[in-house]
Copies of this chain bind each other. A is one copy, B any other.
Amino acid sequence: MPITLYDLAGEEADRRFSPFCWRTRMALAHKGLDVETVPWRFTEKDKLPKPNDGRVPVIVDGGRVVHDSTAIADYLEQRYPERPPLFDGRAGRALTRFVQNWTETVVNVGLVRLVVLDIWRHAAPQDRDYFRRSREERFRATLEDVVRDREARLPAFRAALDPLRRTVERQNFVAGDTPAYADYIVFGAFQWARAISDLELLAADDPVHAWRGRMLDLFGGLARRAPAYGN
């Protein structure tokens, strides 16, 4: 029986734009597990299987419900140890946490200020008021004001990717010769943006762009085939 993944969707049901759900989607593919995704909208808190914290990803695996992308990765590693490892040992898991913390405090924080209005534009109609209100409260600004000078901020965002850039300049993936969960964490952020925004985040000659291309090619082009902008 395939694993069910509740996956954030936009107005188009197959446009999936949660950075956290993309981590899980890639991790499931890495483990070679069948998945059936259920498109889910921000305002459908009641439709999630319990327990949940009102957010996705949530997976159901043979009746077992697991929520939170980090908990899901740990669950998959423990439940399917005979399949390709997401972490490669204790230090691998610990160091992956550092990559996660970098992604969440640098990449995600930088990205949302570039694309938050694009998210609103692609959100399902019933989600738009909720999304606008909650994000404008968080930023204490209108979504239009948050992104207004985004072209001017793009060079600083690109510069902040230096640790990633230097890494994937010298090795194919963040986790080395082959990708692992650390890659999916960082990639989730880029795939989030790519799904909803035509902003050219990465210059074509950026080693990060090349790495993202390698990520898009994984698992038969799983992420490349998903509805997204071509940037």
Taking Cβ atoms with an 8 Å cutoff, the residues of A that contact B are: 87-99, 101-102, 104-106, 162-164, 166-167, 170-171, 173-177, 180, 182
Contact = CB atoms under 8 A, between A and B. Distances in A.
Nearest to A104: B166
B91 A180 contact: yes
Contacts of A176: 90-91, 93-95
A96 B92 CA distance: 9
Given A105-B162, A162-B105, A167 B98 contact: yes
Contact of A166 (B105, B170, B173, B175): B105
Given A95-B96, A102-B102, A90 B163 contact: no
A164 B98 contact: yes
A170 B100 CA distance: 12
A162 B99 CA distance: 12
Query: Copy number of this protein in the oligomer?
Result: 2
Contacts of A91: 87-89, 92, 95, 175-176, 180, 182
B177 A101 contact: no
Nearest to A96: B95
Nearest to A92: B91
A85 to B, nearest CB: 8
14 contacts: A88-B90, A88-B91, A90-B177, A91-B176, A93-B176, A94-B174, A94-B177, A95-B98, A97-B167, A97-B170, A101-B164, A101-B167, A105-B163, A106-B163
A140 to B, nearest CB: 19
A174 B106 contact: no
A164 B98 CA distance: 7
A97 to B, nearest CB: 6
A64 B96 CA distance: 34
B175 A102 contact: no
Nearest to A99: B98
Contacts of A105: 162-163, 166
